Amino acid sequence: MRTQVVIVGSGPSGLLLGQLLATIGVATVILERVDRDHLLSRVRAGVLEQGTLELLDEAGAGARLKAEGLPHEGISLAFDDRLHRIDLAALTGGKHVMVYGQTEVTRDLVDQREAAGLTTIYQASHVEPHGFDGEAPYVTFEKDGVIKRIDCDFIAGCDGFHGICRASVPAGAIRTYERAYPFGWLGILAEVPPADHELIYANHPRGFALCSMRSARRSRYYVQCRLDDDIGDWSDGRFWDELRRRLPPEAAAKVVTGPSFEKSIAPLRSFVAEPLRFGRLFLVGDAAHIVPPTGAKGLNLAASDVRYLFWGLREFYRDKSPAGLEAYSGRALARVWKAVRFSWWMTMMLHRFPDTDDFAQRIQEAELDYLVHSQAASAALAENYVGLPY
Ligand code: APR
Ligand code: PHB
């Protein structure tokens, strides 16, 4: 079997790249480890930058997003028992973000791919990229007990943090940078109206809390927890009590409680691998970098990589020029590192660390107070939150 680009992984990165390439007639095959139902059941974050929206639209997957997404023109920071709104639109010349779950983004892209009759091979095991340091790369995998091979021009490693593509690169050719944070986020989904019409990021001496949403009837909430916390110890009642204790009274009073239908603990990590290109293999999205969710950048960074790689492949196929592919790693990483910096900074400012004593708590509050009262500092936050330019 032969195709132009083999895409390993059918998350948002792989699906979006596949749809964009389809718009210019470049053939792709996606190899995915899990089955379709599993893929569509994962719960992830849900804040999309305008640049991400534009790219999804260009890929033909923007219709439901435009109809059902919730445009947000501001966020609130909560500390010292009060809410402080950051007016994203006013501070960025009218930009906003869209709240729309990543699960729905994935579903829209899968629907689009299926409607176009493009090939995705689910439950492909033992996927292995080969020969990417030469002119004739290929990928092998096992499906239904049979080993198969696909020859191609390029391999896109869109297979997430635990994928095979990054692991296939010779150790001496790659460098990684990492920061693990000493806490997790306990997140729940519940069929209740959100506490506020915008997101609330709360710094509290008991730990961070976040009020988010999926729709006018579905809320997504998080509280900072210990990494070794047992999810079984977090009844819904305990969760709601803890959330309300960490919010200012005016927000706590508006929290509507109800049974959770999803509850999980996620660790927080910053990670970057460099470079993103190894001959004819490209790393994209979570396969190359992870950010803590505090800045809502994970999916947006995946889309950012996809945009640069798409430009490079378009230049290669249309203009017969390798320049865009050669520039991919440098261009993508420049934007990645700025989002890594922003996510790290939001994380440091909003969470309680093991060494956050009363002094450190006051320093965090002073930084937040400065941030919400200085036009320059608010504008810097807003500019990063809505997404830096490409
Ligand atoms: N072979 C085939 N597929 C694989 C393999 C493998 N060896 N390993 C992983 N995969 C698949 C996973 O099952 C998953 O469907 O690759 C896909 C990777 O998807 P994501 O982890 O969602 O990564 P990405 O598409 O880059 O999306 C980034 O997802 O994790 C969030 O915060 C992140 O929002 C960001 C977005
Ligand atoms: C979410 O809705 O899941 C969400 C929103 C904002 C974040 C992180 C997660 O910063």
Residues of the domain holding 104? 5-73+99-177+269-346
The rounded radius of gyration (Å) of the Cα atoms in the chain is 21
Render pLDDT for 334-382 as a digit per residue (tens, 0 to 9): 999 999 999 999 999 999 999 999 999 999 999 999 999 999 999 999 9
Same domain (yes/no): 244, 332: no
Tokens of 234: 């977090």
Same domain (yes/no): 131, 33: yes
**Which candidate in 248, 297, 328, 351 is catalytic?**
297
Q: Give CA–CA dist 341/286, Å, rounded.
A: 16
- Predicted confidence (pLDDT) at residue 8 exceeds the cutoff of 90: yes
Q: Give CA–CA dist 104/124, Å, rounded.
A: 23
Closest atom, ligand 1, to C-alpha of 42: 22
pLDDT at 42: 82
Determine, yes or no, domain membership for 92: no
Same domain (yes/no): 170, 22: yes
Q: Give CA–CA dist 270/179, Å, rounded.
A: 5
Place 57 in a pLDDT band, splitting at 50, 70 and 90: very high
- Predicted confidence (pLDDT) at residue 46 exceeds the cutoff of 90: no
Mean pLDDT of 278-298: 97
Mean pLDDT of 233-246: 98
Structurally, the chain folds into a number of domains equal to 2
- Predicted confidence (pLDDT) at residue 45 exceeds the cutoff of 90: no
Q: Assign residue 339 the CATH number of its domain.
A: 3.50.50.60
Determine, yes or no, domain membership for 82: no
Ligand 1 and 164: CB distance under 6 A: yes
Determine, yes or no, domain membership for 80: no
Output the pTM of the full model.
Answer: 0.97
Measured in angstroms, how far is the CA atom of residue 142 from the centroid of ligand 1? 18
- The residue behind tokens 């059902």 is 68
pLDDT at 44: 80
Q: Give CA–CA dist 246/249, Å, rounded.
A: 9
